[in-house]
Amino acid sequence: MKLSRQILFATSITLAAIIVPRFATAAEHIVEMRNKDDAGNTMVFQPGFVKVEAGDTVKFVPTDKSHNAESVREVWPEGVAPVKGGFSKEVVFNAEKEGLYVLKCAPHYGMGMVVLVQVGKPVNLDQIKEYKATGLAKKRLDGEIAKVVQ
């Protein structure tokens, strides 16, 4: 009786060791959509750069109202479903494929409201660097591109 309990216990531990890490590795990352960040910049995603792994999710949260998060189509990797969140709504990006992803807040893109998500390796870095965002969006995007991890 005692032995079978020990075996059962040992089996449970072994199964947990095999099964749990597969779920534990998928992380949820939060990006806030804000009127002002801690540094005093206006109309921002915070953070403006997020590094995640394939299988993770990135949740965009409307900490302040009247923002949204959606794909910048010009540089969105082919074969990946675009993201288009409603105004003042949460939206989740399922990071499944490696690469760099640029999202914007539609009404504030001209004010530089842009965010860069790196999933695994930056396989499309050249395309992202070639993309000509305008005005403050370009300045902010260049700043985020400088944070990309090779």
Applying CB under 5 A, the residues found at the interface with Cu ion are 67, 105, 108, 113
Q: How far is the CB of 26 from Cu ion (least distance, A)?
A: 28
- Residue 69 or 128: the one with the smaller Cβ distance to Cu ion is 69
- Residue 67 or 140: the one with the smaller Cβ distance to Cu ion is 67
**Quick check: 115 and 144 in contact, CB under 8 A?**
yes
C-alpha distance from residue 80 to each of 12, 75, 98 (Å): 38, 11, 10
Asked whether residue 29 is marked as a ligand-binding residue, the answer is no
**Quick check: 145 and 116 in contact, CB under 8 A?**
yes
Asked whether residue 105 is marked as a ligand-binding residue, the answer is yes
- Residue 11 or 63: the one with the smaller Cβ distance to Cu ion is 63
- With CB atoms as reference, the residue minimizing the distance to Cu ion is 105
Strands 114-119 and 49-52: parallel
Q: How far is the CB of 65 from Cu ion (least distance, A)?
A: 9
Q: How far is the CB of 66 from Cu ion (least distance, A)?
A: 6
DSSP string of 78-141, one letter each residue: TTSPPPBPPTT--EEEE--SSEEEEEE-GGGGGGT-EEEEEESS-TTHHHHHH----HHHHHHH
Asked whether residue 1 is marked as a ligand-binding residue, the answer is no
**Which two three-digit tokens encode residue 103?**
């999202």
Residue labelled with tokens 């005692």: 2
Q: How far is the CB of 68 from Cu ion (least distance, A)?
A: 7
Asked whether residue 108 is marked as a ligand-binding residue, the answer is yes
State the binding site for Cu(2+).
Answer: 67, 105, 108, 113
State the binding site.
Answer: 67, 105, 108, 113
State the binding site for Cu cation.
Answer: 67, 105, 108, 113
